Structure 1
Amino acid sequence: MKHKAIELDPRKLVVSEQYQARKTASQTPLPQLADSIATVGLLHALAVVKSKKRGFHEVIAGGRRLQAIHLLLDDGRWPEGQLVAGNLYDEENALLVSITENVQREQMHPADEFEAFAELISQGKTIEDVAAAFGVTATVVRRRLRLGRVAPALMQAYRDNELPLDALMAYAMTDDQERQVQVYSNLNMWDRKSPRVIRGMIEEAMTANHRLVHFIGLDAYQAAGGGVTRDLFADEDDLNGIYLIDRALVDRLTLSKLQETAASLTAQGWAWAEVTLDSEPVSNRYGRVYPEPVDLTPEQQATVAKLQTQEKLLMHDIAILEDEEEKADEDEWEALNQQLDELQEQIRAVEDQCAAYTDSQKKVAGCIVRLDYQGVLDIVEGLIRPEDRAQAQEQQQDADGVGRVSLPAVKTRPTHSERLVRQLTANKTAIVQAALANNPKVALAVLVAQLARRHFGAGYYSYGGFGLGISTSCEPLAADAPDFQESRAGQELARIEQHWGDVITPGSDGGELAWALSQDTETLLELLAYLVAVTVQGIQHQESSQANTLDQLAELLNIQMPEWWRATGETYLSHVSKDRLVEVVSEGASPEQAAPLVRMKKKEAVDVAEQALAGTDWLPSIMVIKQN
């Protein structure tokens, strides 16, 4: 459509009442649009026609921009004599131009806004600058910037319409991108879009039914000034419907109460007593001393004998009740069993007194004070810390030593950091996946073996797909291994993924099933190999010398690891210390080639090490396929 580019005096422009297609007000307030124009100028020319009033023009597309400019004129923020760019159209095409501009104008995708805002901030712009430039509030910019910190994989899912905006906002509750991807991967296709489920996974809500609240008491929390909210749809006595607002206060009250117990333990002679909110098993970094046997006193022996007699009588009564042909009284049966449980607990309590820790043991050992999963006080006694190992060894030699003891392992610095262990094992997992994806026979055997294990074992499994109780779970390898996508295994998996993506007919109406029914067995086996392969899991967080199921699969597939992965600056060498570089080159090449690295700076040493290892088959122990 022909038009003429002209420059116009904004004071001689009016909004056309006859040809303006937009009748519904925009969501962007005029003052914010005015701020944007004042900051970055008028980016799009106004569409105009000549007005019947001599010297004036009517705006047929861009009316709000003109109103914003008039605001700037009124505020004195429009430069004196500055003209406005316009495109002059014939009156016969005016309405069509107005409709076309408003219909075809495409808003910037919010994901692009997130990244654009972040880029501007990184260039030194303030939040207020960005808000003015885009014609939005500062609050909108802050929210966009927070959403811009979500993991790239989730942002791509949002771009691809696989995640709604409210779900993306739920993932942004944490800045930990690894945690975001982990939650996303562990949820099914419906729950990963549910803000409620996502928030619950990322930050578990604390209710009055939480183990810490059981320990300190809800009344104590509220007496200390802690606030609560209640679920309007929950029963009054439903503890899960009472939400505690101040999690930090709960932690402080719990630790304070645990510290009281710890103080009483050190008063009893223990060398130390630590408190923790963790309920996981005690770390194997601790050693232990074991209580010495102590004979029961005559009074204790008499108590046990009496309780055991009562125990036998109760067991006899329960047996008679269970043998009756008529239906036994359920309440009576439960009451007798309750009494039996209480009796047996009393017997155990007395018998526990036949073992006790000596004063010598307490001088070298300590306790951990914590809560179990139900919020009950749990004291783990007789622990030896790594730093007390030498003292415990000395006391073992004394005449009144510490008795039976297991010493903590000597603490040594691991060869590889946890992050590097995850990176290497992610790459190792990808290699097994790629090899398995190209071996349908083994993939089929693995799948059948897995299904057999699930069928003949215990437990229930979620249902999905076409009514089958089979589901898959894939580890986000790229999240742990930045070099994964450029690796040979990563490229091979991407190639296979692309192949099947081009071949399969997707669709919620069962398009995949229709496609599968039309394929031959060989094609289905090849696809099955890939689908089984990408479920292979093997990312580790700590080094281990033990063979695992990933090694078993790799051995089954006869994988030659050096053909898939080599130690380069990017994949390994730049992630370890210079001392480790010297050790690696000595092992993989020769001590003579390793010697000069000692005097080099780290970057130079990495480059030289990479050259020395080129053409060798050296692998770090993590990447070696271990034999069962």
Structure 2
Amino acid sequence: MSSVISGFLSKRGAGRGSRPADIQPPRSKEKYMSVTESKVKTERKSSRKPAKTQETVLSALLAETAEVSVPLASLIKSPLNVRTVPYSAESVSELAESIKGVGLLQNLVVHALPGDRYGVAAGGRRLAALNMLAERNILPADWPVRVKVIPQELATAASMTENGHRRDMHPAEQIAGFRAMAQEGKTPAQIGDLLGYSPRHVQRMLKLADLAPVILDALAEDRITTEHCQALALENDTARQVQVFEAACQSGWGGKPEVQTIRRLVTESEVAVAGNTKFRFVGADAFSPDELRTDLFSDDEGGYVDCVALDAALLEKLQAVAEHLREAEGWGWCAGRMEAVGECREDAGTYRSLPEPEAVLTEAEEERLNELMARYDALENQCEESDLLEAEMKLIDCMAKVRAWTPEMRAGSGVVVSWRYGNVCVQRGVQLRSEDDAADDAGRTEQMQEKASVEEISLPLLTKMSSERTLAVQAALMQQPDKSLTLLAWTLCLNVFGSGAYSNPARIRLECEHYSLTSDAPSGKEGAAFMALMAEKARLAALLPEGWSRDMTTFLSLSQEVLLSLLSFCTACSIYGVQTREYGHTSRSPLDSLETAIGFHMRDWWQPTKANFFGHLKKPQIIDALNDAGLSGAARDAEKMKKGDAAEHAEHHMKDNRWVPDWMCAPRPQAETETTEYRDNQADAA
């Protein structure tokens, strides 16, 4: 390409190549921007069409080329013209009438062919209109046509630019054009410079060019869109692409595949890396190319990673961190594991945790902390400086806590590094349990469970928080259509197969309790869960056909994707888990089993604050909450405070963790849980 540009530059002001002797130059010469000047361009967009105001290398070269005239009979459509979709007879006829009335207003762009012929790279519709006039004997065969002659290697680029500007170029044509230019040896950056596209857009279209031919044929025939192609491009194997495409067609409404179905079939054993805390911690270098699937069409340059490979890499890195801490701090043993050591039966029989010793700051550390705290309190808003101050304060506190463990304590216990709530969790002072310890700890475990009993929570707070929890589960279930539809089918089957058929058709009743839930939940209508539900409701409401509430048949026009979305959303809105208390006994939450099934975590939707939670607790309950979250130091500080200050104190220390009170969480699944118990709870929730 550089030789072409330099060739054009060397011809400025000289003759324009081998033109026929009877061709006259244009009567006036306009001033054009030079090729060098054209390199100062406006910022490119990554959209399909180049910006109209944008100068490209090709447009600069065309500006340097003078118009000439050639006989109409010498013009044919160029074999390098990327246009494959035929022009409509109506559009050609309209253009022919325009040329007949006012003449040819825009020149054609051609390149030389053997035998004194010229291939039209840009202007195919104009050529068709001129030939129509010639067939009607309105124009003679030697009628002079204004053209610009360009080198053959720029013909494809000229054709793509022409089609992109004049008529909406079909995506299949653009893909074929980019592929042809790449086969000529042009890089994505060079193609982008010629046409005014970003290199990334070119790379994306070249990625689609590698799809199986049958898929590109479906795109050209408008049976699928570029969105379908982008989802299929996640799979590199063309045979697998065809398998996924055919499977999606078979499952789609009317044989038309759904984009989300294609994406699910390609990545069914994988998870997205975008926003994935595990992947961010492990890093892309921990995986082989076979374990990573790059999504070139993702705005955040995301992709997918194999689930098993991700967990294996995470466990390996956690073990490495544990080994480092054991050597650096002098612990007797170490372990890296996926979950923190907890109070479940398996862990309780294997480990026990030593009480965390009280950290003692040195005089220098106390002075530094006071200085940092004063600077921190002087800042009105959170900013980069406040983050740095907070990080240093946490570091000083952590160093003091580690130093509090004596050499004897470290030698007789270990450090466990795990993954908890999207962060690395370090537990120091963990001892391996002997059989004699079991009896001693049984009473203590029972006492802790009794302290956290839901019966100690006031009924108003129970109503508030179970309402908050219900809205959060609704929002989480809404985001998992497959689980939502499973719950719907299961609930209907309970009625149909469990208690006989109905005499009247479709006796299905749904009660949406959003009014009472938002009235009771502390977050009201401003909570993240309710706002997410309302956003989805607004989106779906816009898709409902006109007059739908009066005529069921209007829903026959909806696509399968929309119908499934409506079913999923309505099912989610039917969830109800507000707990009650009668005769001193609190009902068990019907949400427990459902939360386990959908991988729900309350802190994805709710943040405990003084206003919405801690302020409604008694001071001992606030202290218990801090201890339960592993913040024993903060709990000791809260003991010296008034209740209001302790509530603010708890809010501050709980903001960066994922703690939720036990009575607001689903219990850990146990092997002896009866199937009937699951059934009853699910039936109550739906």
Is TM > 0.5 for Structure 1 vs Structure 2? Answer: no
Higher relative contact order (CA 8 A, sep 6+): 1
Q: Which TM bucket (shorter chain)?
A: 0.3 to 0.5
TM-score (norm 1): 0.33
TM-score (norm 2): 0.31
